[in-house]
């Protein structure tokens, strides 16, 4: 059966150079099923400063791990690989529409989220020192636009330079980061930033609205990634400061980072049973309690605030890759919030978040939020104060914050219906309100 393998490196806490940690092997059976195996190296296991890749799956232990999920990939490794946008670039560059998981890992640049790296040599390569600079953004946006245009209309005459050449240019810019929107990693004097570009199908100025939502979330007491706007020609770009990298001398310290998808041991294939059962803030809260026991008293109320915020801005794109935990040293804790997007919908009665969080499942509603608040370590009184306080803040401030950071009048009107929608306040105990979509409440998963 066809087999590929690569070495996995890690930049340990307080270090800026990677060491070799283990080996990942991917086999494809005759029936086409992918089987992944990972083993920590003996010399890595002997190190006093060794750390686990993630707190649920690849814990420090000797026997090899095996998986058939995620096309034979392990969650922590998958979280280090590019997603829709970065994958598209690799496919274009390789001229191969479906590379294997190992090919994605080996062909992606070293700006990946978290502390892992991948290569074919036992010894890790020197860490990437040369990231694209914020000054290069104009060229990067141009290349991203060309790639989107070529995807929309493959028959269109290729703009200057072949597709592969454009992908190559963007690849050098560093795009191992996840997500579907066009983006690149850029560096200024003292930090790395995730630059998120406009897309030609955007209905409003997405980068600016994203910056506004992070600003609004901060006003609501949520711990968020730092963001700032920059304008290149007529294009707005939002720069999100990387919270998994910290400049130290000539290099970067790297925090380990895993998504909630990995923490939940879930899949993100659309409409699977797995998705319905595991995509849950309640289960996520349980996992955080286990994985981040030292910071749970801070992290769980914080997670509750984020669910509340998402419900109040109709952020229905709050899927498990849009939440993560980080470990700078040994201990894991909830990462700052990122990727907050309002979704103005027509429905006034009921809007659903991507993950369940109460007795009425995913229903973005005040009583639903309060129904299971104890799972987030909040009493009914505390949770009520959070929900009602945030409802008032968002109702009063969303427009001012948007305008202050330069969202246009027109765009404010386009997104207005996302904020504090009517159904948020419905009394779910009222029998005239249809709640039959309510999903089964996930219970604590035993370990």
Ligand X SMILES: Nc1ncnc2c1ncn2[C@@H]1O[C@H](COP(=O)(O)OP(=O)(O)OP(=O)(O)O)[C@@H](O)[C@H]1O
E-state strands within 332-390:
332-334
Q: Could you tell which of ligand X, Mg ion, none binds residue 242, using a CB distance below 5 to 8 A set by kind?
A: ligand X
CA distance 22 to 41: 5
DSSP string, 361-373: BTB--HHHHHHTG
Quick one: which of 75, 86, 179, 182 contacts Mg ion (CB under 5 A)?
A: 179
Closest contact distance (angstroms) between CB of 270 and ligand X is 14
- Pick the closer one to ligand X by CB: 83 or 136: 83
Please choose which of Mg ion, ligand X, none residue 323 contacts, taking the beta carbon within 5 to 8 angstroms, the exact cut-off set by kind: none
Is the Cβ–Cβ distance between 110 and 117 less than 8 Å?
Answer: yes
Q: Which is nearer to Mg ion, 83 or 411 (CB)?
A: 83
**Rounded to whole angstroms, how far apart are CA atoms 350 and 161?**
48
Of 26-34, 127-135, 172-180, 426-434: span binding ligand X (CB under 6 A): 172-180
Task: Tell the smallest beta-carbon distance from residue 76 to Mg ion (Å).
Answer: 18
Name which of residues 311 to 370 contact Mg ion (CB under 5 A): 322, 339
Please state, in angstroms and rounded to a whole number, the distance separating the CA atoms of residues 319 and 352.
Answer: 12
Shortest Å distance, C-beta 259 to ligand X: 6
**The tokens of 224 are what?**
């968020």
Q: How many residues bind ligand X (CB under 6 A)?
A: 19
CB 30 to ligand X: min, Å: 34
x/- mask, ligand X, residues 15-54, rule CB under 6 A, reads ----------------------------------------
Q: Which does 128 bind (CB under 5 to 8 A by kind): Mg ion, ligand X, none?
A: none
Give start and end residues of each alpha helix (H) in 182-295.
206-219, 260-263, 273-278, 281-291
Could you tell me the two tokens for 445?
């998963």
Q: What is the closest distance, in whole angstroms, from the C-beta atom of residue 244 to ligand X in the complex?
A: 4
Q: Which of 12, 137, 167, 177 binds ligand X (CB under 6 A)?
A: 177
Which residue, among 173, 178, 197, has the nearest Cα to 82 in the 3D structure? 178
Least distance from Mg ion to the Cβ atom of residue 411, Å: 20
Least Å from the CB of residue 396 to ligand X: 27
Interaction mask 325-354, ligand X, x per CB under 6 A: -------------xx---------------
Which residue stretch of 172-180, 237-245, 394-402, 424-432 sits at the interface with Mg ion (rule: CB under 5 A)? Answer: 172-180
Q: Which is nearer to Mg ion, 333 or 341 (CB)?
A: 341
SS3 303: helix
Query: Minimum CB separation from ligand X for residue 322, in Å?
Result: 5
The candidate with the shortest Cα–Cα distance to 326, out of 255, 264, 265, is 255
Q: Which residues contact 45 (CB under 8 A, 6 or more apart)?
A: 60, 62
Q: Shortest approach of ligand X to residue 117 CB, angstroms?
A: 16
Closest CA to 368 of 426, 416, 414: 426
Partner in contact with 291, chosen from Mg ion, ligand X, none, beta carbon below 5 to 8 Å by kind = none
Q: Rule CB under 6 A: which of 373-432 touch ligand X?
A: none
For the chain, give the longest Cα–Cα distance.
66
Site string for ligand X, 201-240 (x = CB under 6 A): ------------------------x--------------x
For ligand X, the nearest residue by Cβ is 179
Does residue 321 bind ligand X (CB under 6 A)?
yes
Q: Dig out the tokens for 131 from the structure.
A: 């990231």
Q: Left if phi > 0, otherwise alpha if psi is -120 to 50, otherwise beta: which for 228? A: beta
Which of ligand X, Mg ion, none does 424 bind, CB closer than 5 to 8 A by kind?
none
8 A C-beta contact, residue 226 and residue 85? no
**332-334 and 324-327: which strand pairing?**
antiparallel
Closest to ligand X by CB, 18 or 179: 179
* Binding residue for ligand X, selected from 78, 87, 211, 242, defined by CB under 6 A: 242
Do 104 and 90 form a contact (C-beta atoms < 8 A)? yes
Which residues make Cβ contacts (< 8 Å) with residue 283, sequence separation at least 6?
264, 442, 444, 445
Sign of CA dihedral 152, 161, 175, 341: negative
Phi, psi of 210 (to 5 degrees): -65, -45
Interface residue with ligand X, options 178, 198, 207, 358 (CB under 6 A):
178
* Coil/strand/helix, residue 260: helix
User: How far apart (Å, rounded) are the C-alpha atoms in residues 2 and 19?
Assistant: 28
Q: How far is the CB of 37 from Mg ion (least distance, A)?
A: 29
Size of the site for Mg ion (CB under 5 A): 3
Q: Which residues bind Mg ion (CB under 5 A)?
A: 179, 322, 339
Site residues, ligand X (CB under 6 A): 113, 177-181, 194, 225, 240-244, 317, 321-322, 324, 338-339
């Amino acid at each position: 059966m066809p087999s590929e393998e690569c070495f996995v490196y890690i930049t340990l806490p307080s270090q800026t150079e990677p060491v070799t940690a283990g080996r990942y092997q991917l086999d494809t059976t005759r029936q086409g099923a992918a089987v992944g195996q990972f083993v920590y190296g003996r010399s890595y296991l002997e190190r006093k400063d060794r750390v686990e890749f993630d707190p649920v799956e690849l814990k420090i232990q000797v026997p090899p791990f095996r998986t058939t999920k995620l096309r034979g990939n392990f969650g922590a490794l998958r979280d280090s690989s590019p997603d829709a946008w970065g994958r598209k670039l690799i496919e274009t560059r390789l001229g191969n529409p479906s590379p294997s998981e190992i090919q994605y890992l080996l062909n992606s640049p070293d700006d990946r989220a978290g502390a892992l790296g991948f290569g074919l040599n036992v010894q890790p390569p020197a860490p990437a020192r040369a990231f694209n600079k914020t000054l290069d953004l104009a060229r990067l946006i141009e290349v991203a636009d060309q790639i989107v245009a070529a995807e929309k209309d493959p028959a269109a005459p290729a703009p200057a330079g072949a597709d592969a050449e454009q992908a190559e240019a963007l690849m050098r810019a560093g795009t191992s980061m996840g997500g579907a929107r066009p983006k690149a990693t850029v560096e200024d004097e003292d930090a790395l930033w995730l630059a998120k570009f406009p897309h030609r199908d955007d209905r409003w100025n997405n980068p600016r609205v994203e910056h506004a939502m992070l600003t609004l979330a901060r006003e609501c007491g949520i711990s968020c990634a730092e963001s700032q706007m920059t304008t290149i020609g007529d294009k707005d770009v939002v720069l999100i400061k990387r919270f998994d990298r910290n400049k130290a001398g000539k290099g970067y310290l790297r925090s380990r980072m895993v998504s909630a998808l990995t923490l939940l041991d879930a899949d993100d294939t659309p409409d699977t049973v797995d998705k319905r059962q595991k995509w849950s803030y309640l289960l996520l809260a349980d996992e955080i309690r286990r994985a981040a026991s030292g910071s749970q008293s801070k992290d769980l109320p914080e997670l509750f605030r984020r669910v509340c915020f998402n419900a109040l801005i109709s952020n229905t794109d709050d899927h498990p890759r849009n939440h993560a935990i980080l470990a700078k040293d040994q201990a894991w804790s909830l990462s700052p919030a990122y990727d907050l997007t309002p979704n103005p919908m027509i429905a006034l009665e009921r809007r659903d978040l991507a993950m369940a969080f109460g007795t009425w499942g995913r229903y973005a509603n005040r009583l639903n939020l309060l129904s299971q608040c104890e799972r987030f370590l909040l009493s009914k009184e505390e949770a009520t104060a959070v929900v009602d306080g945030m409802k008032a803040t968002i109702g009063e401030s969303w427009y001012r914050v948007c305008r202050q950071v330069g969202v246009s009048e027109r765009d404010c009107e386009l997104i207005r219906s996302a904020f504090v929608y009517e159904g948020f306040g419905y009394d779910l105990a009222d029998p005239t309100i249809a709640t039959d979509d309510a999903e089964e409440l996930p219970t604590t998963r035993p370990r």
